Amino acid sequence: MFSKILFSLIILQFIVHQAFSQVSVKDSSIVAPMIYATYAYQLPGGDLAKRFGGNSSIGGGFMIKTRSNWLFAAEGNYLFGGTVKNGDSLLKNIATPEGFVINANGFFSEIGFAETGYNVLGKFGKLFPVLSPNPNSGPLVMVGGGYLQDKIKIHDGDNTAPQLQGDYKKGYDRLNTGFVLSGTVGYLYLSDSRLINFFVGFEFMQSWTKYRRARNFDTGKQDNSSLSSQFYGIKVKWIIPLYKRKPKDYYLY
């Protein structure tokens, strides 16, 4: 047992040493660990397109590129959007005929609707160093999978409507969770200066989710429906490499 642990530590130390040693991106393909922040604008398809409009996605992750240009990544993203279709109809059972919700003070509450959710993904893919300034940049293809959660966020401006507090609010939010697959094509650029490193590309996501609330309060019924939905988006990443840049050579004559 001890020998296995020792062997693992030696291998780990070797990997870290290779990854964080001084390297030159322009000279040869390198092991390149990196962290990144990401933003995407997505359009929905399938079942979620019946409820939501376009959404944004912000997040971050860790990625490592091997010397043979294989890519492995783990990332998480927060989803948010301001377009909820037919949101007012969700509250028809607790609203006036004009569509207003009366709060505990006897006034109309300012109710807003939004889309919110998140995903957690593991990814792998391949970089092709063609049409690129160095062996560590170029077009790439990645696929992955993970977990997705999506729901309607109901905002009560002054938080004084008891009909929309605590578990009551959950009866209207259409929470759905499940499995998601992703596919990405784009271009990765790593500079030798370490100052400008980015990715830009197109991402497609296919999700299979289920409603998770015991009952929808607007219909009074339990809903165990399965959803098949898509997200189409343009994605950009700002990358911070974790390797050290090799110092320039100087010659004295």
The answer to whether the CB of 245 falls within 8 A of the CB of 193 is: yes
pLDDT at position 248: 52
pLDDT at position 139: 98
CATH code assigned at 225: 2.40.160.20
The answer to whether the CB of 138 falls within 8 A of the CB of 129 is: yes
- Does an H or E element contain 72, and which? strand 70-81
- Rg of the chain's alpha carbons, rounded to an integer? 24
Q: Which residue segment(s) compose the domain that 90 sits in? A: 29-245
The answer to whether the CB of 43 falls within 8 A of the CB of 83 is: no
Q: For 88-114, b where at least 16 C-beta lie within 10 A, e where not — what string? A: eebbeebbeeeeebebeeeebbebebb
Q: Does a structural domain hold residue 18?
A: no
Q: For 38-49, b where at least 16 C-beta lie within 10 A, e where not — what string? A: bebebebeebbe
pLDDT at position 89: 87
Q: Does a structural domain hold residue 127?
A: yes
Q: Does a structural domain hold residue 9?
A: no
How many Å apart are CA 40 and CA 118, to the nearest integer?
A: 13
Q: Does a structural domain hold residue 23?
A: no
Q: Does a structural domain hold residue 134?
A: yes
Task: Give the pTM.
Answer: 0.84
pLDDT at position 194: 72
Written as tens digits, the pLDDT of the chain (253 aa) is: 545 544 543 444 444 444 445 567 777 899 999 999 999 999 999 999 999 999 999 999 999 999 999 999 999 999 999 999 988 889 988 999 888 899 888 889 999 999 999 999 999 999 999 989 999 999 999 999 999 999 999 999 888 898 898 889 999 999 999 999 999 999 999 988 778 899 999 999 999 999 999 899 988 888 889 999 999 999 999 999 997 666 555 444 5
pLDDT at position 12: 42
Q: Tens digit of pLDDT for each residue in 198-247?
A: 999 999 999 999 999 989 998 888 888 999 999 999 999 999 999 766 65
pLDDT at position 145: 98
pLDDT at position 243: 76
Q: Does a structural domain hold residue 19?
A: no
pLDDT at position 222: 87
Burial (Cβ within 10 Å: 0-12, 13-18, ≥19) of residue 2: exposed
Q: Does a structural domain hold residue 13?
A: no
Here the tokens at position 151 are 């729901």
Q: How many domains is the chain partitioned into structurally?
A: 1
pLDDT at position 247: 53
pLDDT at position 11: 45
The conformation of residue 173, written as its DSSP 8-state character, comes to S
Q: Does a structural domain hold residue 7?
A: no
pLDDT at position 28: 87
